[in-house]
């Protein structure tokens, strides 16, 4: 894991990039994890056992693994998971075998309960670890003039990461982050207003500026990056 010093500079650099900095850093971490996994799938016995228990990745992380384009690694990983799913389905009882009586008799719950994940998605766990490192540094350093300046010039945080960051802030940092994000959202709201106004045919002849992409940026900034698998209602 990176040192505190490195984490700080990685965070500052990510704030200069596009979109939510924590989304960007978490995506980078996940892509590295997926590449490592895809190319070392044959040897990584522990992670394969974890994936069998989890019944595979959640949908966004299944997609990320596919994007690494290691056909062999993806095949080996999924051969394990398909085998585990087959075993779980074979042991599933149907009809009257389910319910309380069925479970007391040692049967599996009705409706394919054995197919349910026995563990969380390992890539989601990896993502949370990466987020934790950078969110902790953001909360600890947002009052530093340099980081605050980088934040003010950035696209701000997506809504899920903002909530997570505010939850890690002490009172002073909370005030700094709140003011910084309100500044970012104020500019975004202005751009959206301008974009909406220019969509009216009366003003369609006016030249369009940076607000042209505001609708697309706003959607990512409210929901977070779709490949991260962030829970919108996570509290």
In sequence order, which residues have a C-beta less than 8 Å from that of residue 172 and are 6 or more positions away?
143
Comparing CB distances to Zn ion, the nearer of 72 and 119 is 119
Q: Give the Cα separation of 200 and 178 in Å (integer).
A: 33
- Which of 158, 173, 180, 184 is close enough to bind Zn ion by CB under 5 A? 158
Tokens of 83: 């085998």
Tell me the window of 46-54, 84-92, 106-114, 217-225 that interacts with Zn ion (CB under 5 A).
217-225
∠ CA 169-156-121, nearest 5°, is 75
Q: Give the Cα separation of 93 and 51 in Å (integer).
A: 23
3-state secondary structure of 120: coil
- Which of 12, 141, 161, 198 is close enough to bind Zn ion by CB under 5 A? 161
Comparing CB distances to Zn ion, the nearer of 29 and 229 is 229
Tokens of 209: 């500026």
Q: Does 124 bind Zn ion (CB under 5 A)?
A: yes
Binders of Zn ion among residues 2 to 21 (CB under 5 A) are 20
Q: Give the Cα separation of 20 and 217 in Å (integer).
A: 10
Q: Does 62 bind Zn ion (CB under 5 A)?
A: no
Q: Does 55 bind Zn ion (CB under 5 A)?
A: no
The answer to whether 167 and 148 have CB atoms below 8 angstroms apart is no
Q: Does 61 bind Zn ion (CB under 5 A)?
A: yes
- Which of 11, 15, 22, 139 is close enough to bind Zn ion by CB under 5 A? 22
Comparing CB distances to Zn ion, the nearer of 133 and 158 is 158
What residue ranges bind Zn ion (CB under 5 A)?
A: 20, 22-23, 58, 61, 121, 123-124, 158, 161, 224, 229
């Amino acid at each position: 894991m990176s040192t505190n010093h490195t984490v700080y500079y990685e965070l500052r650099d990510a704030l200069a990039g596009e979109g939510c900095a924590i989304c960007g850093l978490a995506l980078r971490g996940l892509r590295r994890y997926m590449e490592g996994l895809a190319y070392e799938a044959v040897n990584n016995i522990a992670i394969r056992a974890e994936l069998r228990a989890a019944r595979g990745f959640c949908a966004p992380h299944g997609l990320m693994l596919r994007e690494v384009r290691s056909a062999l690694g993806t095949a080996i990983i999924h051969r394990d998971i398909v085998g585990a799913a087959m075993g779980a389905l074979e042991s599933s009882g149907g009809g009257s075998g389910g319910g309380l009586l069925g479970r007391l008799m040692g049967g599996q719950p009705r409706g394919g309960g054995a197919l349910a994940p026995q563990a969380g998605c390992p890539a989601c766990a990896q993502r949370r670890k990466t987020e934790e490192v950078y969110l902790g540094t953001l909360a600890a350093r947002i009052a530093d003039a340099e980081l605050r300046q980088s934040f003010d010039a950035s696209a701000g945080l997506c809504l899920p990461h903002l909530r997570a960051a505010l939850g890690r802030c002490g009172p002073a940092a909370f005030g700094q982050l709140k003011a910084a994000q309100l500044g970012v959202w104020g500019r975004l709201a202005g751009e959206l207003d301008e974009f909406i106004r220019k969509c009216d045919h009366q003003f369609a002849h006016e030249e369009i500026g940076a607000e042209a992409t505001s609708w697309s940026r706003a959607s990512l900034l409210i929901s977070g990056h779709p490949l991260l698998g962030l829970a919108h209602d996570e509290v």
